[in-house]
Structure 1
Amino acid sequence: MKILLPIDGTELALHEVRFALRLATEGLKASFLLANVQEPASFYEIVTAHDAAVLETISHSAGQHALQPALDLLHQAGMEAETVVVTGDAAHAVVDLIEEHGCDLVIIGTRAMGLLRKALSGSVAQDLVNASPVPVLLVKPPAEPEPTLDDAE
């Protein structure tokens, strides 16, 4: 089974990688595709850079940097992974990657957002659930640890 893991460089994305690793260590035969989606260059960036190749290089480097901690986690667990950095709308780019790389499953996290923020901004996870041709496994963020007496001091 080929699992696509969208990685945005956050600690929450690493939580999703750990969840995928747990599935693999419990017997799921899986290979992994780590993907980072960079936003397209803004008008300001295009005007000031004067060179599309420079913007592309910077964007690709930022994406590779965001993928590295997830790749390190997989390697530490003895797993290999492919990596890819693309530019565009996150949900649409992930759907394209599913088809291009023959992925069987996407594991993505949900972000804890209030109802108003969710209604105004939408959700990449929700868009992906609606558009994906393969199952999408949503991983809740880890529960916040309870404050201890030591934390209060």
Structure 2
Amino acid sequence: MAVHRILVAVDGSPPASRALEWSNDLAAQLDATLVVMHVFEPLMAVGDRQGPIDLPTLYDNAKRRLDGDWTAPLRERGTRYETKITEGRPVDAIADTAEETRADLIVIGARSMSIARQTLLGSTALRLPQETTRPVVVIH
């Protein structure tokens, strides 16, 4: 299987940073292009805050980080990449973006979650392989 496009999902967490680092190394070895995406979850962004939420500002902040510090290591290495920010549930958004961008491989970071939280919220790392036909690499 030839890998020309690698989709990596980032959110600023340590596991996502490790996934991006691993993807950056793999892209260099394979001369592949990275598609670095962030899933913007408005409902998660709202959380327990009181009062009106400025969703455009939250979106702009996420976009700024995606185009800034999250992808800085790629620019430093000279890796070919593009960025994409989407809105929705991570599993669906990642699977849809992989399809849209024709990614050959999906890379995500796995967060530690309690069994109760996995049951209530689901785990992207557990559910994504069931939602796509593309290979999924989970970095811990």
Structure 2-normalised TM-score?
Answer: 0.81
* Aligned partner (choices 30, 33, 52) of residue 32 of structure 2: 30
2:42 to 18, 26, 40: 40
**Could you say which residue in structure 2 is the equivalent of 1:20?**
23
Kindly report which structure 2 residues correspond to 1:133-148, keeping only aligned pairs within 5 A, or say none.
Answer: 133-140=133-140
Equivalent pair of 2:87/2:93 in contact (CA under 8 Å)? yes
Greater CA deviation, 83-92 or 65-74? 65-74
Q: Is the 8 A contact 1:16 1:109 kept in 2?
A: yes
Is 1:123 matched with 2:123? yes
Q: C-alpha distance in 2, partners of 1:113/1:90?
A: 16
Counterpart for residue 96 of structure 1: 96
Q: Does structure 2 retain, via aligned residues, the 8 Å contact 1:90–1:124?
A: yes
8 A Cα contact 1:3 1:32, kept in partner: yes
Separation in 2, partners of 1:102, 1:95:
10
| Residue pair 1:74, 1:80 contacting (<8 A) in 2 also | yes
Point out where structure 2 has 5 or more consecutive residues left out of the alignment: none
Instruction: Give the partner amino acid of 1:103.
Output: A
How many residues align structurally? 132
Change (3 A) 1:87 1:109: same
TM-score (norm 1): 0.75
Q: Secondary structure at the match of 2:69?
A: helix
Kindly indicate whether structure 1 or structure 2 has the higher relative contact order, using CA contacts under 8 Å at least 6 residues apart.
Answer: 2
Please tell me whether residue 81 in structure 1 is matched to residue 81 in structure 2. Answer: yes
Counterpart Cα distance in 2 of 1:19 and 1:79: 12
Superposed CA RMSD in Å reads 2.2
Contact 1:7–1:66 (8 Å) recurs in 2: no
Unaligned segments of structure 1, at least 5 residues: 141-153
